[in-house]
Each structure stands twice: as structure tokens, then as C-alpha cells.
Structure 1
Amino acid sequence: MPRFAANLSLMYTEVPFLERFALAAADGFEGVEYLFPYEYDPGVLARHLEEHALEQVLFNAPPGDWAAGERGLAALPGRAEEFRAGIRLALDYAAVLQAPRIHVMAGIPQDSDDLDHCRDVYLDNLAWAASEAAQQDVDIMIEPINQHDMPGYFLSLQDEALSVCEALNLPNLKVQFDTYHCQMSEGNVATRLQAGLPRIGHIQIAGVPGRHEPDIGELNYPFLFAAMDALGYIGWVGCEYRPRAETRAGLGWLRQEEARASRTSGSAA
């Protein structure tokens, strides 16, 4: 059975953020992820993790001006100093939170930007970030994001992300494989998961369409969870979905997966 981590930016939003740690732990999650921690002192977050025996699985590096529509800096020309300052801040948080991976968003280039130049900037920035992160044994994650949800985002296809990883060939630069984004962009999720697995360092899930719980929609998640097991994936699976109603009421999919894993374990014994 995959190891599931609750995404506290999207789940348990019926309570204030710092109260979500307790609810996730009470529902059986052993790991958490979220978008950005920078509103809170890292020591406060670390105390919540420790109090509820949770592992910090993932968070994002600063994305630029989120309120103004920026979605990352890594591929944007002329933003290198701001990008590096953001990575340093993220690594400071990672050290306190004992987080093993940071997602670095590529960004949305301007219409006037040369995309070949953006790729060169992207590779340079990722190489620098991975080198800095390696000193703390932290992985840098890159994630293809679909053009429906985030028009103009620089990285949208799995092959593009794999090409970046292969071009740099750095052991701590990995792909964040989001099944929702993959299905929205190109489909063929199970095959793409298998093909990318040597470079995949984290998986995220959500129902398609709607980005709700993974028990409705066009993706067969019981099949995908079994495929992850069969492929030997031992990393975390982040639950980056928006609950249709109250979060706990929508966890039937998780209980079903726990039952499947129990049956599989029992038959193997």
C-alpha cells in the first residue's frame, strides 16, 4: 500500500491551518505536505509535526508574487537573484522541518520571452538549487502542471520533465508525478508512471475532472495504487485534492485502499 500524505493546503480547510495537523494524524496520515510554509515560523510548524508524529514530506519553494499570478521563478529570465534567495529560505525551513524534498516551480514566461532561453535559465537555476540542496540531503522536485489549470506554465508534459532531469543528470533532481495533471495534459497515466519511475521522487493524486477525492472520475485509482506497489514505488503519495465536502467524510477511498492492502497482505501470508 502506498504511503499517503495529507495536503494541508487543500484538505481540512474547515479548520485553521495549524489545526489541520491534528486532524490529519487522527485520520491515520503519517505524513503531510502543503504549498507554502512561509507565513509561519518554522519552529511552530516543527512542533506541530512532532506533537502529532507527522513527517514533513514536501513543500514548495517561494513562487514569486503569487497574488499577482506568478507561479514560480526557475525558468524566468532576469530573476536569478530572487530565485536563489527563495531557495535559501526554503532550505532554511527544510532544515528545521526535516523535510527531504522541495518542489521548485518553473513559472509562466512572458509572451516576449524566448522559450529556448527560458530553458537555459531553467537548467542553470535547477543545477544551482540542486547543488545547494544536496548539502542538506534534500531533493529538488520539478512538476509538470497542466495548461488548463495553469495556462502558460513552462513545464506541462512528463517527457519534458524527464528530459530536464536527464540533461542535468543530478541525483537529487527528481520528477514530482501528479496523476491529475498527467491525465489532464496527456493521459496514459499508468504507462507514463512506469516509464518515469526511475526519476520520480514523489507522486500526487486527485480525481479527474474536478480535482476532488480519488474515488470518482475517469481515473481508476485502485488500479493505479496496485500498480505503484507492483512497480516497487516506496515514496510518498500526496493527496493534493479539494474535498467535495468535509474532509473526513470523503476518506472512504482511503479506507477501501487500507482494506485492499490488508487483503493482499493476508493472502500473501
Structure 2
Amino acid sequence: MNNKLSAHIGYLFKEVPLGERVASAAAAGFTAVEHPQPFSIGPQVMRKMVDEHGLFFAQLAGGAGDASKGEKGLASLPGREADFRASFDRALEYALIVGAPLIHPMAGVPGDENAAQAKDVYLENIRYAVDQTAGSGARVLIEAISEAAVPGYAISSLQKAIEVQDIFGIEKVTLLVDTFHAAVTEVELTKWIPWNGARIGHVHIADFPGRHEPGTGTLPFNDILSALQAVEFGDAIGFEYIPSNSTVESASFLHDWKLRS
């Protein structure tokens, strides 16, 4: 397995401003960073920062919506197709400049009133994202976000994500597998990964049930790493957890993970 360990700088290093988190991640021993909406920092500036610290930018989101309004994505929302496309185009342009290989078009929470239309709208928006990324060097990434984290999220299970991936093909759409969300939905990744390794393009790590750093909960991370190694997973492992203390203290596990990966 390649040594690609990514700090989600939306969750980690919140002790410092966003513009300082790339340096903090590098100092702590991470080899990559990611953030769903890094747009307050220009792409050229972000690229310079990651290059200066010997990192790479692992993934970002497109069509995330307005966080200040509680939006968790636009891709499944009827009537927001133009907003989704404009946001995705912006994210793709940013990704290509910073060298991010993956863009996650966030599905969002369509609500019961839009349930009948939501799936068709979502698939049309994913088709748009697939068409836009074709030949670009970036690929569409889909994450199943559990109801426990985002009630009503349109893609709330790995099975739903797989169904979408199978429509477009694994060469065009890859999956983000999150250990916390998998545990919430009672998916045992040590059993799931061996059968689905080719589907995975990115992994998120957080323990269960507290969603803190590895070692604070019940998940068998040694076995999960072994399963990823067995399927020759070579893409990035991202750490999207809520630190139980300072980020630097919470990341004390990183040395052992670098040895394993």
C-alpha cells in the first residue's frame, strides 16, 4: 500500500486558521491534505502550499451547497441543477490546479417532498459530473454518509453508492468508504473490502462510536488495514475524525499507521 495519509483539514488542525493547516499537517507527519470546500484559499495559493510542504491534495467536494444554510450537497435537489453545475465546474477547475484526483459531488438532503424526483435529478447530475471529468485527470467520488451524521442524506448506505457506481462504471465513479459511516450502518469492512476492493478510491478513518481518532472506540483498524493491503489498495487514506484532544495529540497513532501502510 502506498504511504498516502491525508489530513482532512476541515476536521483537523482547527486550532489554527485554514491557511496554516497545510503546514500543520505536514509537521504532524501527514503526506496529503483534503477539504470539501477550500475555496477561501485560491487554487494557485493552495497548490503552492502543498508543493512547498511536499504534500498533495487528495480530494474535495463539488456542489456542496451553502453550509451556512445547513445544506449538505445539491446533487439530488430538484430545481438546483444550475447551482450544482456551476459549483461542480468551480470545484473541477480548482481540483485541476491543485492536482486533486477526486471530486465528490455531494448528494444532499432532498426532503420527503422531493423524494419522487430526487433519484433522477441525482443521476443526471452525476452524469454531468462524469462527462465534465472525462479525460481531465480527475474522477468522480461518491461517499455514503449515514443518517446518524446527516439525517435524510440521499446516499446514506454503501449499497446505494454501489448502485450508482454500477450505472456509470468503476473507471468513471469511485467510492469513498468511511469507517464511521460503515459502522453506523452495520457494514463490517473486514468482510466488505475483500469483495469490493476495486470499487474503492478513497478511505476515511474515524473510530466508532465517538467518531474520534483511531484507538478511541471499537473498530479493528489493524484488520481493516490488512484487508486494504490484501486488495492492493494504493490510493489515499484520509483522516476525518473529531479529535478527542488537540489535533497533534490525537494524531499520535500516525507513526504506527505509516509503518503499516
Counterpart-to-counterpart distance in 1, 2:26 and 2:221: 23
- What whole-Å deviation, never above 9, does each CA across 1:14-55 have from its counterpart, x for those lacking one? 111111111211222111111211112111111111111110
Matched, 1:34 2:71: no
Counterpart-to-counterpart distance in 2, 1:170 and 1:185: 23
Aligned to 2:119: 119
Aligned to 1:68: 69
Going from structure 1 to structure 2, the CA distance change for 1:258 and 1:47 (only over 3 Å counts) comes to closer
2:58 is paired with a residue of what secondary structure? Answer: strand
Aligned to 2:188: 188
Q: How does 1:197-216 map to 2 (within 5 A)?
A: 197-216=197-216
Going from structure 1 to structure 2, the CA distance change for 1:76 and 1:44 (only over 3 Å counts) comes to same
Task: Say whether the 8 Å CA contact 2:142–2:161 is kept in structure 1.
Answer: yes
Task: Say whether the 8 Å CA contact 1:72–1:108 is kept in structure 2.
Answer: yes
Counterpart-to-counterpart distance in 2, 1:254 and 1:109: 38
Counterpart-to-counterpart distance in 2, 1:121 and 1:226: 38
Going from structure 1 to structure 2, the CA distance change for 1:50 and 1:3 (only over 3 Å counts) comes to closer
Counterpart-to-counterpart distance in 2, 1:251 and 1:114: 40
2:73 is paired with a residue of what secondary structure? Answer: coil
Counterpart-to-counterpart distance in 2, 1:30 and 1:92: 23
Tell me the C-alpha RMSD between the 2 structures. 1.5
Counterpart-to-counterpart distance in 2, 1:230 and 1:114: 39
Task: Say whether the 8 Å CA contact 2:63–2:75 is kept in structure 1.
Answer: no
2:78 is paired with a residue of what secondary structure? Answer: coil
Counterpart-to-counterpart distance in 2, 1:62 and 1:169: 21
**1:165 positional shift:** 0.8
Task: Say whether the 8 Å CA contact 2:197–2:228 is kept in structure 1.
Answer: no
- What whole-Å deviation, never above 9, does each CA across 1:70-124 have from its counterpart, x for those lacking one? 1111111111111110111001101210111111110101221134x31111111
**1:170 positional shift:** 5.9
Going from structure 1 to structure 2, the CA distance change for 1:260 and 1:82 (only over 3 Å counts) comes to closer
1:251 is paired with a residue of what secondary structure? Answer: helix
Task: Say whether the 8 Å CA contact 2:32–2:55 is kept in structure 1.
Answer: yes
**1:188 positional shift:** 1.4
Identity %: 35
Query: Which consecutive residues of structure 2, in runs of 5 or more, have no partner in the other structure?
Result: none
TM-score if structure 2 supplies the norm length?
Answer: 0.94
Counterpart-to-counterpart distance in 2, 1:132 and 1:142: 15
Task: Say whether the 8 Å CA contact 2:170–2:199 is kept in structure 1.
Answer: no
Q: How does 1:1-269 map to 2 (within 5 A)?
A: 3-115=4-116, 117-169=117-169, 171-260=171-260
2:223 is paired with a residue of what secondary structure? Answer: helix
One-letter amino acid of the structure 2 residue matched with residue 224 of structure 1: I
One-letter amino acid of the structure 2 residue matched with residue 150 of structure 1: V
Which piece of structure 1 moves more, 58-67 or 146-155? 58-67
- What whole-Å deviation, never above 9, does each CA across 1:141-185 have from its counterpart, x for those lacking one? 111011011000001111111111112226221111111111112
TM-score if structure 1 supplies the norm length?
Answer: 0.92
Going from structure 1 to structure 2, the CA distance change for 1:131 and 1:98 (only over 3 Å counts) comes to same
Query: Which consecutive residues of structure 1, in runs of 5 or more, have no partner in the other structure?
Result: 262-269
Counterpart-to-counterpart distance in 2, 1:162 and 1:7: 24
**1:245 positional shift:** 1.1
Counterpart-to-counterpart distance in 2, 1:176 and 1:118: 21
Task: Say whether the 8 Å CA contact 2:194–2:230 is kept in structure 1.
Answer: no
Task: Say whether the 8 Å CA contact 1:209–1:218 is kept in structure 2.
Answer: yes
**1:259 positional shift:** 4.3
**1:186 positional shift:** 2.2
Q: How many positions carry a matched residue from both structures?
A: 260
2:6 is paired with a residue of what secondary structure? Answer: strand
